[in-house]
């Protein structure tokens, strides 16, 4: 039994290729059939690492009776949200407008005109969890469409109009001018939402909220905010010791089901880990805690082992489930731990004590999610071992258990390569290679960038278009705002840390493409979909951060960075958008954190570090290295080699007036005010601090 999804590139769609459901991918064939036969569309959206998506696939989409009901009354379309985030963003709104929480799997019923009239998320196969069973839902929706067609059409129009209004830009009358005090106000507001016991925001489920922590870190450094500093420290420490962190194989799971970070949903997403690499690496410098950089290093180790292809592209995700059970690959009973570590009593006792592994467990079937439960020094005292010997015993236990875990069936890896998520990882890994002065780490970022540019970048006459994803030899989709904005931001990161002018040139081309395809000249802001893309029921300007930073906020950051380097008109565009967003950010800093950081860069300006000297000169390299020793939230780093015209052309605005000297020198500038030339790396560090 095979349906049309067998020909798709998406692993998620292929997972449904043998359902008895007559699935279509989203496209002309399905939409035309719905119009021709006047049938409602059943749109199901999910992704390969989603636990409840697997549950509904097993319970309902593999059930021949339910499939027959779906096939008889609906045109059934299956969508991978990672491949088509435009469809997901559009139709998630329906559930929210109906007063319920969105999520996946997303189930939406549409008219043949693609207008939604009913929606939900997971539906069970029979009545349970206080929900009607999926067959009952299908029957009710089909009957309503057949017998109350005009009513359904009217309801669909009302919902569509509400969607258009919900995705419109903030209106002019609510604008306030951004001020330097904005960051303090946002940090104070976030502090009220912060969990002072476990770190993070809210109770459960608890997500990393990387963008909000990044905003707090900026406030800690730029405003010398001690409270924000401790909140960042607590959040990062709590996540690292909790079960959301994979203590054996490294990397972060998606989120915690409880307030204490103990029991996660076990999928691992590239975007979470990419953002957390940068957060931990930057925090290690900002907070003066080198241990935080260990977490960033271990995430990169995990990606290199599990997620990076030979060609350099980085895969999307790993599943929560193994053999139909969530977390089965990751959890341990006490008996299993004892059996694996039987030959090393010291390691076994240290592991059980430090991680609180128990007979009862903290997960289903008396299993244990591995998380730190004791202070290391207390464990060392209890075992009558030195701290060093305890650490060594724990590392032996970790290594042995990891090797044993590797022999278990492994979670499915979604091996499609997405531009936007790769770009997040590229920028983060590049920063780490720079901060740690490790060429192989920087090379990982450059290799991934080269892969994206070689497979998903098309250029004609300087006009760049991006694809969305590549899997094997299949390139699919059109790039969305986050693909262009994140890749431009990553190119600027690579330019700053490598000094290679070609990356700045790429960023400039991508910025021009953003203006051409996504920027709204009449009502300054950014559409998520390109103006030459598929026309959906609404073309919105979603402003919120989700699991990843808002594409519009990152586009503004790119425009501000480019405005500093070579074209001030980009900064002017960013200013128009950011000024309009300021009041919304003040009202909801947790949902709009990435905008808050971008607005602070606008009002505070960047700190520009211009290093002038032959790039092969050790003295030049010493100044470059010194610039990485201080966390500067709104930094622009430029390396000008007087012997290389390309380096001057990459940053003409910032290079102007920075004269070469007999020895390499650095200038630290705020706006047009610059320091005297600095030749001593230690003096440069002091100037940045």
Mean pLDDT in consecutive groups of 10 residues from the start of the chain, 689 residues: 93 97 97 97 96 95 98 98 96 90 94 96 92 96 96 95 80 71 97 97 94 98 97 98 98 97 96 98 97 98 98 97 94 98 96 97 96 97 97 98 97 97 98 96 98 97 96 95 98 97 97 98 95 92 94 98 96 96 95 98 96 94 96 96 91 89 94 92 95
Dihedral over alpha carbons 248, 249, 253, 256 (to 10 degrees): 0
Q: Specify if 399 maps to a domain.
A: yes
Helix ranges (H only) for 589-662 are: 593-604, 618-627, 645-650, 652-655
**228-267 pLDDT, tens digit each:** 999 999 999 999 999 999 999 999 999 999 999 999 999 9
How high is the pLDDT of residue 173?
46
Sign of torsion over alpha carbons 136, 139, 144, 145: positive
Domain boundary among 372, 392, 408: 408
**163-178 pLDDT, tens digit each:** 988 877 654 446 688 9
β-partners of residue 416 are none
Q: Specify if 324 maps to a domain.
A: no
How high is the pLDDT of residue 174?
60
Domain boundary among 166, 185, 213: 166
Give the C-alpha separation, 341 to 158, whole Å: 62
How high is the pLDDT of residue 172?
45
Hey, what are 288's tokens?
């003066």
Instruction: Indicate the helix (H) or strand (E) that contains 80.
Output: strand 75-80
Domain boundary among 408, 427, 460: 408
What would the DSSP string read from start to end of 130-178?
Answer: TB--HHHHHHHHHHHHHH-HHHHHHHHHHHHHHHHHHTSPPPGGG----
Give the C-alpha separation, 681 to 197, whole Å: 40
> Domain limits at 355?
330-408
Instruction: Please report where in the chains the tokens 């690496």 appear, as a residue.
Output: 281
Q: Specify if 264 maps to a domain.
A: no
How high is the pLDDT of residue 168?
73
Hey, what are 205's tokens?
């489920």
Q: Specify if 339 maps to a domain.
A: yes
Give the C-alpha separation, 30 to 368, whole Å: 46
Q: Which residue pairs, CB below 8 angstroms and at least 24 apart, start in 281-286?
A: 281/428, 281/431, 281/432, 281/435, 282/214, 282/217, 282/431, 282/631, 283/217, 283/232, 283/233, 283/236, 285/435, 285/629, 285/630, 285/631, 286/217, 286/220, 286/221, 286/232, 286/631
Sign of torsion over alpha carbons 85, 468, 281, 276: positive
Give the C-alpha separation, 674 to 538, whole Å: 47
Q: Specify if 79 maps to a domain.
A: yes
CA 141 to chain centre: 35
CA-wise closest residue to 371 among 358, 380, 359, 383? 358
How high is the pLDDT of residue 170?
56
Whether the bond into 28 is cis, omega within 30 of 0: no
How high is the pLDDT of residue 169?
63
CA-wise closest residue to 50 among 364, 269, 263, 363? 269
Say if CB 36 and CB 102 are below 8 A apart.
Answer: no
Q: Specify if 427 maps to a domain.
A: no
Q: Specify if 593 maps to a domain.
A: no
Q: How many CB atoms lie within 10 A of CB 462?
A: 10
Say if CB 372 and CB 248 are below 8 A apart.
Answer: no
Domain of 668, CATH number, reads: 3.40.30.10
Q: Specify if 110 maps to a domain.
A: yes
Give the C-alpha separation, 222 to 40, whole Å: 54
How high is the pLDDT of residue 27?
96
Number of domains in the chain: 3
């Amino acid at each position: 039994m095979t349906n049309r999804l067998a020909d798709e590139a998406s692993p998620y769609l292929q997972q449904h290729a043998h359902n008895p459901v007559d699935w279509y991918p989203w496209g002309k064939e399905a939409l035309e059939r719905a119009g021709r036969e006047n049938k409602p569309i059943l749109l199901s959206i999910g992704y390969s690492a989603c636990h409840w998506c697997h549950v509904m696939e097993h319970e309902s989409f593999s059930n021949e009776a339910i499939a027959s009901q779906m096939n008889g009354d609906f045109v059934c379309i299956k969508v991978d949200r990672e491949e088509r985030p435009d469809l997901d963003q559009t139709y998630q709104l329906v559930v929210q407008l109906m007063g319920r929480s969105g999520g996946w799997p997303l189930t939406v019923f549409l008219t043949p005109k693609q207008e939604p009239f009913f929606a939900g998320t997971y539906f069970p196969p029979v009545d349970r969890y206080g929900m009607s069973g999926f067959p009952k839902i299908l029957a009710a929706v089909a009957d309503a469409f057949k017998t109350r067609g005009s009513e359904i059409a009217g309801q669909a129009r009302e919902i569509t109009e509400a969607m258009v209004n919900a995705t419109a830009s903030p209106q002019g009358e609510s604008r306030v001018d951004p001020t330097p005090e904005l960051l303090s106000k946002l940090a104070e507001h976030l502090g009220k939402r912060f969990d002072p016991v476990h770190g993070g925001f809210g109770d459960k489920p608890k997500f990393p909220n990387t963008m909000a922590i990044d905003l707090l870190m900026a406030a800690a450094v730029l405003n010398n905010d001690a409270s924000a500093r401790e909140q960042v420290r607590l959040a990062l420490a709590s996540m690292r010791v909790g079960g959301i962190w994979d203590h054996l194989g490294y990397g972060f799971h998606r989120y915690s089901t409880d307030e204490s970070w103990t029991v996660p949903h076990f999928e691992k997403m590239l975007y979470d880990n990419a953002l957390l690499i940068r957060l931990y690496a930057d925090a290690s410098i900002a907070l003066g805690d080198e241990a935080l950089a260990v977490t960033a290093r271990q995430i990169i180790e995990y990606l290199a082992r599990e997620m990076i292809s030979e060609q350099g592209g980085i895969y999307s995700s790993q599943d929560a489930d193994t053999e139909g059970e969530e977390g089965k690959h990751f959890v341990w009973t006490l008996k299993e731990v004892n059996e694996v570590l039987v030959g090393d009593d010291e390691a076994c006792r240290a592991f059980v004590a430090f991680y609180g592994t128990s007979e009862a467990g903290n997960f289903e079937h008396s299993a244990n999610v591995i998380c730190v439960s004791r202070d290391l020094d207390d464990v060392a005292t209890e075992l009558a071992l030195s701290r060093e010997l305890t650490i060594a015993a724990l590392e032996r236990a970790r290594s042995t258990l990891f090797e044993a875990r590797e022999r278990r069936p492994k979670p499915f890896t979604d091996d499609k390569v997405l531009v936007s998520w790769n770009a997040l990882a590229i920028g983060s890994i590049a920063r780490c290679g720079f901060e740690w002065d490790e060429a192989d780490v920087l090379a990982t970022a450059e290799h991934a960038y080269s892969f994206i540019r070689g497979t998903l970048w098309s250029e004609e006459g300087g006009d760049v278009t991006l694809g969305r994803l590549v899997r094997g030899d299949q390139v699919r989709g059109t790039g969305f705002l986050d693909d262009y904005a994140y890749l431009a931001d990553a190119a600027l990161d690579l330019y700053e840390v490598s000094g290679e002018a070609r990356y700045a040139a790429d960023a400039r081309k991508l910025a021009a493409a953003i203006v051409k395809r996504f920027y709204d000249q009449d009502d300054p802001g950014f559409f998520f979909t390109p103006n030459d893309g598929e026309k959906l029921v609404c073309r919105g300007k979603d402003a919120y951060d989700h699991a990843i930073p808002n594409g519009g906020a990152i586009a503004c950051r790119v425009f501000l960075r480019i405005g500093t380097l070579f074209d001030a008109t980009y900064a002017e565009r960013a200013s128009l958008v950011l000024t309009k967003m300021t009041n919304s950010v003040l009202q909801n800093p947790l949902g709009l954190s990435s905008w808050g950081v971008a607005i602070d860069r606008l009002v505070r300006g960047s700190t520009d570090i211009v290093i002038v000297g032959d790039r092969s000169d050790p003295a030049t390299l010493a100044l470059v290295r010194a610039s990485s020793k201080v966390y500067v939230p709104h930094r622009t780093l430029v390396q000008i080699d007087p012997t290389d015209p390309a380096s001057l052309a990459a940053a003409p605005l910032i290079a102007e007036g920075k004269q070469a000297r007999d020895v390499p020198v650095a200038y630290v500038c705020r706006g047009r005010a610059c320091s005297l030339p600095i030749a001593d790396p230690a003096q440069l560090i002091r100037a940045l601090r």
